[in-house]
Chain A
Amino acid sequence: MSNRRDFMGMALGGFTALGGIGALYAMKRTWDPLPSVKAAGFTTIDLKDAQENVLVTEKWRGKPIFILKQSKEMVEKAKKSDELKRLIKIGDEYYMVAVGLCTHLGCIPGYDSGKQSFLCACHGGQYDSTAMVTKAPPPRGLDIPPFRIDGTKIVLGEEGPEYKKMLADGITMKV
């Protein structure tokens, strides 16, 4: 069978492949997260009853979220080590809000309110009270989720101007 004769066969094969690509696209879309999953990706948290140095854990998109209201000395410490920009300011109060998953391999670090630091039991990584990394192996501080400030509340999942600035300054990566 000469190649010339099988030109039609090749044309058919090529055209069929196009259809195959269409089918693969439909299959890919079937794997996409469902609209109800994406819509559930917004959580509103009211910070007004938070207490200083008491870790609060919330849930957003299935992940734990750490909220730590900063005490006066924590704020002073943060100012000195230029870490104030990691915190969220609401009124006169400062809060650390971060995804409670170690940036090394994803375990949940534990908080020691005495030492005012986080320790990850899996491989010994440590973070300070602004969730900045202080001991390896984590490569960076805890990630900060997208947020928008609404009075004393924050809406996780929406991107407010404060969050956009944190992204631009390289304080966190997109979660």
Chain B
Amino acid sequence: MNKELKILGVVAAFTLILYWGVEPFAHSQMHKHVEGHGLVYDGTADIEEASKDKKEAKKKFWAEVKEIAKLKGDPVAGEATYAMCAGCHNENATNMGGVTPPSLEHAGAIYDKNFLIALIKDPAMATNVDHKYPNGTDAHPMGSVKGMVNTPQDIANVVAYLKAKKAGEVTPKEAFKEACSRCHANRYGKLTQLGEIPKTKPNIKTGQDIEKIEYDKKVAIEQNALADYLGKLPPDLSIIYRARSEHFLETFIENPQSQLPGTAMPRTGLNHEGMEKVMAYLEETGDPSAPARALAGPWVLGFFLIFTILAYLWKQSQWRDLH
């Protein structure tokens, strides 16, 4: 008996060492750990990563954002100013400069206040993609906002309006649609860059589904525009939850440049609620069997525990008088 335990110990030790080397150790060598910033958008990461010639500009920018954040915003005045935003951010939004403006229906709920201020002040700087605009950040698709909402008080008002009136209960799917799906499709969730895939019926005589063909064409045109604008088509996020670790996803979404320097993906500015909801949706489409696993696991393990006990008793009864 003792001998068998010793042998088991040796086998277990070698197995665990093997596992350690191949999994945790190897992965720590392949992927350097990146620290998150707790979803605080104050430019710390941007300034740290910036090249020498850009550091000063960034420090100035985020200092100004901090000043605006101290102002008391008036949501009523903000609503009037918001009418300018709604000119592009509405239900009939079309592709502008490569991407279709997302809905802001729950913007107050899912985005961070400082980020929103920074975004209205200078979208390219706020989203940390200013390195893509060497000739000035006005060229950003949303760059024109700088001319439309430009006084600190105006910005504070609009953000106050968003936080007051566009901050209702938001579902994981809505959070994903607003923050991600203008660039990233999610086919398992039946979402394209143009929204939910409509149900269509083919012509019974020919099998041709004209409605579907026309929808697919619209999506293809949108995807081509996105790929031209960004350099490549952003990946479908259906199963990204299993293709990357949760830590990678959170630090990446918080600041894409920290994980993939030079990437065209803009920072999304999600706050804690927004991040939670988006991650919940990604888990929904990427790991939908998680609840079923959690339910069945204890039963199966419990079964085998009892099985092993009964097997041990049977083994004892068979071997009792053999030694």
Binding site for B on A (CB under 8 A): 5-9, 11-12, 15-16, 18-19, 22, 43, 57-59
- Give me 24 A-to-B residue pairs in the complex whose CB atoms sit less than 8 angstroms apart, sorted by A's number: A5-B317, A6-B317, A7-B317, A8-B310, A8-B313, A8-B314, A8-B317, A9-B314, A9-B317, A9-B318, A11-B310, A11-B313, A11-B314, A12-B307, A12-B310, A12-B311, A12-B313, A15-B307, A18-B303, A22-B303, A43-B201, A57-B204, A58-B204, A59-B204
B310 touches A15 (CB 8 A): yes
**Least distance between B38 CB and chain A CB atoms (Å):** 39
Q: Look across to chain A and name the residue whose beta carbon is closest to the beta carbon of B317.
A: A8
B317 touches A15 (CB 8 A): no
A-contact bits for B204-246, CB 8 A (1 contact / 0 none): 1000000000000000000000000000000000000000000
A19 touches B307 (CB 8 A): yes
**Least distance between B201 CB and chain A CB atoms (Å):** 7
**Least distance between B95 CB and chain A CB atoms (Å):** 31
Number of interface residues of B (CB under 8 A): 12
Scoring B303, B307, B310 by chain A CB atoms within 10 A of each residue's CB, the highest score goes to: B310
Tell me which residues from 158 to 206 in chain B have a Cβ below 8 Å from any Cβ of chain A.
Answer: 201, 204
Q: Look across to chain A and name the residue whose beta carbon is closest to the beta carbon of B299.
A: A22
Q: Look across to chain B and name the residue whose beta carbon is closest to the beta carbon of A18.
A: B303
Tell me whether B5 is interfacial, beta carbon within 8 Å.
Answer: no
Tell me whether B306 is interfacial, beta carbon within 8 Å.
Answer: yes
When chains A and B are docked, how far (Å) is the Cα of A57 from the Cα of B204? 8
When chains A and B are docked, how far (Å) is the Cα of A6 from the Cα of B315? 10
**Least distance between B160 CB and chain A CB atoms (Å):** 43
A-B interface contact total, Cβ < 8 Å? 31
When chains A and B are docked, how far (Å) is the Cα of A6 from the Cα of B316? 11
Taking CB atoms, residues of chain A closer than 8 Å to B311 are: 12
Taking chain A's interface residues, is the majority helix, strand, or loop, or is none over half, making it mixed?
helix
Taking CB atoms, residues of chain A closer than 8 Å to B204 are: 57-59
Scoring A8, A18, A19, A57 by chain B CB atoms within 10 A of each residue's CB, the highest score goes to: A8
When chains A and B are docked, how far (Å) is the Cα of A45 from the Cα of B107? 40
Taking CB atoms, residues of chain B closer than 8 Å to A58 are: 204
When chains A and B are docked, how far (Å) is the Cα of A80 from the Cα of B62? 87
Task: Contacts A57-B204, A58-B204 given; indicate if A12 touches B303 (C-beta within 8 A).
Answer: no
Q: Look across to chain B and name the residue whose beta carbon is closest to the beta carbon of A42.
A: B199
List 5 A-B pairs, minimum CB-CB distance, nearest first. Answer: A8-B314, A12-B310, A8-B317, A12-B314, A8-B313
Q: Look across to chain A and name the residue whose beta carbon is closest to the beta carbon of B296.
A: A26
**Least distance between B313 CB and chain A CB atoms (Å):** 5
Taking CB atoms, residues of chain B closer than 8 Å to A9 are: 314, 317-318
Q: Look across to chain B and name the residue whose beta carbon is closest to the beta carbon of A39.
A: B199
When chains A and B are docked, how far (Å) is the Cα of A6 from the Cα of B314? 8
Task: Contacts A5-B317, A43-B201, A59-B204 given; indicate if A19 touches B310 (C-beta within 8 A).
Answer: no
**Least distance between B197 CB and chain A CB atoms (Å):** 13
A16 touches B307 (CB 8 A): yes
**Least distance between A10 CB and chain B CB atoms (Å):** 9
Q: Look across to chain B and name the residue whose beta carbon is closest to the beta carbon of A43.
A: B201
Q: Look across to chain A and name the residue whose beta carbon is closest to the beta carbon of B300.
A: A22
Q: Look across to chain B and name the residue whose beta carbon is closest to the beta carbon of A10.
A: B314
Taking CB atoms, residues of chain A closer than 8 Å to B313 are: 8, 11-12
When chains A and B are docked, how far (Å) is the Cα of A19 from the Cα of B299? 10
When chains A and B are docked, how far (Å) is the Cα of A59 from the Cα of B205? 10
Taking CB atoms, residues of chain B closer than 8 Å to A57 are: 204
Q: A6-B317, A11-B313 given; name 8 further pairs at CB < 8 Å.
A: A11-B310, A11-B314, A12-B311, A15-B306, A22-B303, A43-B201, A57-B204, A59-B204
